[in-house]
Chain A
Amino acid sequence: MKTFSSLLEKLLFTPSRNRKKSALKEYIANTPDPDRGYALAAITGDFKVKNITASFYHELIKDQVDYELFKMSYDYVGDLAETISLIWPVKSVKIQDELSLHAFINLINENSKSEQKKIILDLMNKSNANERWSIIKLTTGGFRIGVSAKLVKLALAEYGNKNIEDIERIWHGLSYPYLNLFEWLENKSFKPKIKFSDMFHPMMLAHPINEEKDFNKLKPSDFFAELKWDGIRVQLVLDYKNKKVYSRTGDEISQSFPDIVSNINGNAVLDGELLVGRKFEALPFNFLQKRLNRKKPSKKIINEIPAFVKLYDILFENGNDLRDLPLSKRRYILSNWLKLNPSECLDISKIIDFKDWNDLKQIKIESTEKFNQEGLMIKSKNSVYLSGRPRGLWFKWKKNPLFLDTILMYAQRGHGKRSSYYSDFTFGVLNDNAIVPIGKAYFGFTNEELKKLDNWVRKNTINRFGPVREVKKELVLEIAFDSINESKRHKSGLALRFPRIHRIRWDKPTNETDYLKDIKKAFF
C-alpha cells in the first residue's frame, strides 16, 4: 500500500503530463505483479471495490473522534477522504509486515462488511495520513488525480517499447492485473490473444480541416465525403449471443436503446452515428437528448422518438479484423453486410460524390445552410482504422461558426504552462442594466494575445475569489461557437457549444454588445 499511495500523491501534485507519465513508468518498472496491475486498474477506473461507501467511513470515524469535531472539520475541508485521513488519531502501532495492494484488495473483496470494518480499522491505525487517504479513495472510488486511461496506456507503451496502437486495440479485452500484458511488454511472451466479439474497440476520430493549408496538400480523388450527423457516435458490437451499443468513450449504453438492440443481428463490429427520427430522417439533437441517460426508456418515448444508426464503418466481420484494410474496401464490405443483415434501425451514411474542393464547398454550404446539417466528413479512401486522432486521414469540416459580442466578467489562472497567466475567461451579455454570464472559454487566442489579456486582467481587477478575479466590465470579447441551447448552467439561461475567443475587441464599447433578449429572439 505504501508504494501505491506514494504514486497517487505524486500523480496528484505533478502538474505536467510528461512527468506524470514518467512517474507511472517508474512505478510499473519497480512494482511486482500483481500489484502494478491492480494499481493501474484502480487508476483507470476498471477496478472498483464493492460494498464500501461514504457511510462506511462515517461509521468508522464515529468510533475514533468526537463526531461534532469531525463534522466541523469535514465542513472546512470539504472532502471525506481528506478529512478522515487527517483527523485520524495518530497511534504508535507497531508495523509488522507491509500489506501489499493486491493482498489488501483480496482481503476486502473476500470478507463480509463487519470483517471489512476490522481490516480497514487496523490498516488505518498502521498508516500515515497519505496512506489513509489512498485507502479511502481506493475503496470509495474517484481519485481525481488528473490521470486519464490514455496516459496510463502511453506509459505502458513507452515502458514496453511498443506501439500505442497495439495496446489500444487489445486494452478493452484485457482484465486486471494484466499479467499477460506485462509479459508481452517485457518480451517474455507474445501479444495477448483477445476475444474481440465481446469488447469495445477504441474509435477513430477526425481533425478539423484547415481550409487554407490542408486543401492545397490533399488530392480530392483520394478522399470520400459524407455528411456529418449531429447525434452521438456509437459502436455496435454484435455476435450471435451478445448485442451491445457503446458510446465513443466505451461506456455501454445498450440499456437506453432496446429498440436498436432488438432490431439488429449479425456478427460484426460497426461504427456509426446514433440518431432519432422516422424513416432515417434525423430530428434535431434536442430530441435525441430526451433519449440519452435514460436507463429504461418507456414504450411511449420509444414510440415517439425512435432511434436508428447511420453506419460509417465496419471494424470486424465474422471475427475477422478489417481495421487494417483501406476504408474503400471496408465500405464495400459494409454495404454487403447490410444487404445480408437488413434492419429497420440501420442505414448507411451515404458517400457524397464531388469533383474538387470547390465543388465540395458548394455541397457543404448547401447542406449546412439549407438542410441545417452539422457539416461534412472527409476521409482518406486508403485510411486504415486507427484509434484516437491520427493526422492526415480523417477531417471534419464543420458549418461556419456563429458569433456573439460579449463582455469579459471573470478570469481564472490556468494550469501547467499557463499557471501564471489568467487564461480561463468567463464572459456575459447585457440583460437590461446588468450583465449575466453566458459561457467560459480558454482558447482561441494567440500567446501574444494571452499576454495582453493577462495584463489587462491584472490591471482591471475589482474583486478576488480564491483563484478567480472579477474584472471591470469593460472589455469586449467576440466569441465564436457552434450552436446555442437553453441551459441552467449559466445565469443567462443559455449555453454555447464549443465557445472560443474569436477576437478581442479592444476597440469596442460594451454598450454596443449583444443583449440577452435579442440573442433569444435570434436563435429561438
Chain B
Amino acid sequence: MMAVENAIITHGHADHARIGHQNVLATQNTIDIMKIRYGDKCAGSFQSIEYHKPLKINNLNFTFFPAGHILGSAQILIETKNSRLLITGDYKTSPDSSCQSYELVECDQLITEATFGLPVFQHPKPENEIKKILKAFEKNDTKTYIIGAYALGKSQRVIKLLRDAGYDETIYLHGSQLKICDYYISQGINLGNLEPVSYKKSEDFEGKIVIAPPSALKDKWSRRFSDPVICYASGWMSIKQRAKQSLVEIPLIISDHCDWNELITTIKSCKTKSVWVTHGREDALVHWCKSNNINAEPLYMQGREEE
C-alpha cells in the first residue's frame, strides 16, 4: 500500500489503513481507531461518513454499508446513473455482537475478498467454539488459559463471546489490547471487567483467562505464565496441522471473515453479474463463479499478508 492523496478506507486493520494519506474518508469508528493506533496526525485530514448516507464525489455516489468485520468496518457502494459497484472490504455475514451487523447490498459488479475462499473453510458456530474454553475450565480451573487474538476486532469479539456465554470473571489483557478494548467499551460494547496483565506473579493467573496478540504467544512475554494452556482464535484453526504447528492446545475456529459458504451465498444473493476476487484464494472462488455462470476474474492487488 502506498500513501495517496485521497484514501477511502474500509476498516482500521493495518493492512487496510496506513499512515500518511493526505485526506482520509472513512466511518467515524475507523477514523477513531486509526487515531488510537497511529496518533492524531496519521493523516492530513479526516472526513467521516455515516452508513447509508451517500456522498457525491466527481459524479459518483459513494455509500458505506456495515461489513460485519470489526467495529466501523464498511462495504463501499459506488454508483453511477446506471451501474452499481460494491467493494466488500473484509466482511462476514454471520452475527457478531461486537460490531455493526453486515447488510446485504445488491450490485452489478462485486469486488469480494476471499481470505477463506476454499470449500475446506466451513466455520462452525462461534458460540460453540468458545464453549471449548469453558469446558476445559470445568475440568481444570488451576491453569492459565492464554487466548491468542488480534488486538483489533478479534480480541473484543472473543471477550464478548465469553461474556455472552456467561463468563463474568475478570479477563486479563496483554498491554497492546487495552486501548482498543477501552474504545469498544466507550462505543457501548459491554466487555465486562478487564485488567492489564502488567507485573503480577504467575500464580495470580491460575484459573484465569488472558488475551494476547498471537505474536506474544511465541515471545518471551509468555514465559511469565507457568505451563499455560495456549488457545488461538482464528479461522485458520480449522486446519489441524496448522494449529498444531503453532503449538496451540485449544484451537478456536473463530473468524471475522466469510467462510466458503458465506462467500458463495453473498455472490448469489447480491444478484451481481460479475465478480472480481481479491485478497486470498482467488482461483477457487473464480472457478466456482464460472461453474455457476457468473463472470469472474481474479483481481491482483498490492496485497496483504494472511490474517
Q: Which A positions have Cβ atoms within 8 angstroms of B?
A: 9, 12-16, 65-66, 68-70, 72-73, 76-79, 82-83, 86-87, 90, 129, 133, 413, 415, 417, 419-420, 466-467
Contacts and interface: CB of A to CB of B under 8 A. Distances in A.
Given A68-B287, A82-B239, A87 B119 contact: yes
Given A65-B119, A79-B241, A87-B120, A15 B249 contact: yes
B219 interface: yes
Given A72-B287, A73-B284, A420-B223, A13 B118 contact: no
B284 A72 contact: yes
Given A72-B118, A86-B122, 9 more contacts: A13-B244, A66-B287, A69-B288, A72-B281, A73-B118, A78-B241, A87-B119, A420-B223, A467-B245
A12 B287 contact: no
Contacts of A69: 118-119, 284, 287-288
Contact of B120 (A68, A86, A415): A86
20 contacts: A12-B244, A13-B243, A13-B249, A13-B250, A66-B119, A66-B288, A69-B288, A72-B283, A73-B120, A77-B120, A77-B241, A79-B240, A82-B240, A86-B120, A86-B121, A90-B122, A129-B122, A413-B247, A415-B247, A467-B245
Interface in B198-236: 218-220, 222-223, 227, 230
B298 interface: no
B238 interface: yes
A9 B135 CA distance: 15
A192 to B, nearest CB: 33
Contact of A133 (B122, B240, B247, B283): B240
Contact of B222 (A14, A133, A420): A420
B218 A420 contact: yes
Nearest to B283: A72
Contacts of A76: 118, 120, 281
Nearest to B238: A86
B251 interface: yes
Given A13-B251, A76-B118, A420 B220 contact: yes
A15 B288 CA distance: 39
Contact of B248 (A13, A72, A87): A13
Contact of A420 (B124, B219, B245): B219
B238 to A, nearest CB: 6
Interface of B: 118-122, 124, 218-220, 222-223, 227, 230, 238-241, 243-245, 247-251, 281, 283-284, 287-288, 291
Nearest to B139: A26
B76 to A, nearest CB: 29
A72 B118 CA distance: 8
Contacts of B118: 69, 72-73, 76
A75 to B, nearest CB: 9
Nearest to A9: B240
Nearest to B221: A420
A415 B249 CA distance: 12
Nearest first, the 5 closest Cβ-Cβ pairs linking A and B are: A86-B120, A73-B120, A72-B284, A87-B120, A419-B247
A205 to B, nearest CB: 30
A12 B240 contact: yes
A31 B60 CA distance: 67
A129 B124 CA distance: 10
A14 B245 CA distance: 12
B239 A86 contact: yes
A183 B119 CA distance: 47
A415 B244 CA distance: 10
Contacts of B250: 13
Given A15-B247, A69-B288, A73-B119, A413 B240 contact: no
Contacts of B124: 129
A420 B121 CA distance: 29
B97 to A, nearest CB: 24
B197 to A, nearest CB: 16
Contacts of A13: 243-244, 248-251
Contacts of A419: 218, 230, 247
A77 B245 CA distance: 13
A150 to B, nearest CB: 21
Nearest to A26: B139
A123 to B, nearest CB: 18
A218 B110 CA distance: 80
Nearest to A72: B284
Nearest to A82: B240
Contact of A83 (B120, B122, B218, B281): B120
A417 to B, nearest CB: 8
B169 to A, nearest CB: 23
A413 B227 CA distance: 16
A86 B241 CA distance: 13
Given A69-B119, A86-B121, A413 B218 contact: yes
A79 B120 CA distance: 12
A9 B218 CA distance: 23
A16 B230 CA distance: 12
B287 A466 contact: no
A100 to B, nearest CB: 23
A73 B120 CA distance: 6
B120 to A, nearest CB: 4
B257 to A, nearest CB: 15
A467 B120 CA distance: 24
Q: B218, B219, B240, B250 — which one has the most chain A CB atoms within 10 A of its CB?
A: B240
B104 to A, nearest CB: 22
B194 to A, nearest CB: 24
Contacts of A467: 245
Contacts of B121: 86
Contacts of B120: 73, 76-77, 82-83, 86-87
Q: B122, B222, B230, B248 — which one has the most chain A CB atoms within 10 A of its CB?
A: B122
A124 to B, nearest CB: 14
Contacts of A78: 241
A9 B247 CA distance: 14
B285 to A, nearest CB: 10
A20 B222 CA distance: 22
B137 to A, nearest CB: 15
B217 to A, nearest CB: 8
B142 to A, nearest CB: 13
